[in-house]
Structure 1
Amino acid sequence: MALSYFWSKEFLTNRYFLWLLFWCNAVGTVYGYIWYGEQMKLTLAEQPVWQIVFVPDSPTASLFFTLALLWVLYPPRSIIIKRIGHVIQALAVVTSVKYGVWAVSIIFAGWMQGGTQHWQDWMLIASHSAMAIEALIFVRFFGFRWTSLVVAGLWTLLNDTMDYTYDIYPWLPASLYDHVDGVRNFTFGLTLVSILCAWLALRQAKRT
């Protein structure tokens, strides 16, 4: 069997593979919300309730991707449901690329600033790298267009603004708290890069 088969539409859209991917992401999403549990509790205790939406960044990105797969498994006939799916798919790509790369970058940055390495860091590196990769791979099977991409981009920029306006950004390695301004600038820049990557991947998908 040629390696190219594992890149083919036949393999990637096989329903058994899609369900496997769905459940892997669903379990990862639940684990991600549990991981954010303490920060979410603290936010609810000390901040306005509406800000809780902007706290669990990576698991919400994973949730978007999990839901996006349902639109591939069950293509809707309703135009309204289809358009909703397109927005979710665009959010899945932009946020999965953004937070996948962000988490890996922050872990390495923390190490470079003298932070301690933990085994969980390698687990997070592997899982967040997979988030970014799978999103870019599945762009060609998603049906969204530039309008949905604009919505996804605006939402992600809004999330960044909320994070760094109200200090509800993901908890950082201790060695990076003296560099929050740099992290903020990197975060906004990475959002723009993620939107660009999603747009370029979408253009490439249309050509193939």
Structure 2
Amino acid sequence: MKAAALPWHRDWLANRTIIWLLFIVNTLGTVYGYIWYGSQMEYTVERQSAWQVIFVPDSPTASLFFTLSLLFLLFPRLVKPNLIGIGIRSIIEALGVVTSIKYGIWAVTMIMAGAAQGDHLQWEHYMLMVSHLGMAVEAVLFVRYMVFGRFMAFLALCWLLVNDTIDYTYFVFPWLPDVLENDLSAIQSFTMGLSVLSLLLTWLFISLRKV
């Protein structure tokens, strides 16, 4: 598998300044996301099991993978152009795209579902909707510049399904509005279905790379 060169002169998205700005924004968003999940991560370690904490900060981890993917676009020589190097880059990119699509849509949907059932939205909710929608949009836009293929995207789905299973078996899913507590079964089904949909969307945009 050969990493594609970026057509800097033909596509404004591939402009290094744009990618640097996105890299900085995503880095800051990732750090903020882990801080946001800090209380739940502490609760999981203290009240449940330490190994489960890795499955708590879903969105920040997705953002972390995508941030690393942007770093590969800025510095393609960070990984050696051999099977192992391209494999590492490919799985990180696949995780960055598939998980960003999934959790970008998921977070916005949960906030809107809570609002529809009476949860009072504050400014943080609108900020989260904009930032998470941005996660999904940027993932879709940058698929064309990445080297991963359908198989790595499928492996990213496997990770998501494991994550979903752990989330709803050990109740380490992101804390939900109180008004959604009675809808947990439906949310679990939606979450796992969205994981599959995120893979299908990724496969679609992979197929459009050369169009």
TM bucket normalised to smaller: over 0.9
- Structure-to-structure mapping, 1:1-208, within 5 angstroms: 9-76=10-77, 77-79=80-82, 80-205=84-209, 207-208=210-211
Residues 25-61 of structure 1: per-residue CA shift (max 9 Å, x gap): 0000000000000000000101221111100000000
Query: Take 1:160 and 1:54, find their aligned partners in 2: how far apart are those partners?
Result: 9
Query: Take 2:10 and 2:101, find their aligned partners in 1: how far apart are those partners?
Result: 21
Q: Which residue of 2 aligns with 1:4?
A: none
Query: Take 1:156 and 1:196, find their aligned partners in 2: how far apart are those partners?
Result: 13
For 2:85, give the aligned amino acid. I
**Matched residue SS, 1:106:** helix
| 5+ residue gaps, structure 1 | 1-7
For 1:167, give the aligned amino acid. F
**Shift of residue 116, structure 1, vs aligned partner:** 1.0
Comparing 141-150 with 129-138, greater Cα deviation is found at: 141-150
**Matched residue SS, 1:115:** coil
**Shift of residue 64, structure 1, vs aligned partner:** 0.6
Query: Take 1:40 and 1:88, find their aligned partners in 2: how far apart are those partners?
Result: 23
Q: Identity, % of aligned pairs?
A: 49
For 2:50, give the aligned amino acid. V
Query: Take 2:151 and 2:193, find their aligned partners in 1: how far apart are those partners?
Result: 21
Query: Take 2:98 and 2:192, find their aligned partners in 1: how far apart are those partners?
Result: 13
Query: Take 2:115 and 2:65, find their aligned partners in 1: how far apart are those partners?
Result: 30
Query: Take 2:153 and 2:121, find their aligned partners in 1: how far apart are those partners?
Result: 36
Question: Deviating runs (4+, > 6 A) in structure 1?
Answer: none
**Shift of residue 11, structure 1, vs aligned partner:** 1.3
Query: Take 1:46 and 1:133, find their aligned partners in 2: how far apart are those partners?
Result: 36
TM-score by length of 2: 0.92
**Shift of residue 9, structure 1, vs aligned partner:** 5.0
Query: Take 2:200 and 2:155, find their aligned partners in 1: how far apart are those partners?
Result: 14
| 5+ residue gaps, structure 2 | 1-8
**Shift of residue 168, structure 1, vs aligned partner:** 0.2
Query: Take 1:32 and 1:134, find their aligned partners in 2: how far apart are those partners?
Result: 17
Residues 168-202 of structure 1: per-residue CA shift (max 9 Å, x gap): 00000111011111111110011010010000011
For 2:27, give the aligned amino acid. A
Aligned residues: 200
Query: Take 1:43 and 1:154, find their aligned partners in 2: how far apart are those partners?
Result: 23
**Matched residue SS, 1:143:** coil
**Shift of residue 10, structure 1, vs aligned partner:** 2.8
**Shift of residue 78, structure 1, vs aligned partner:** 3.0
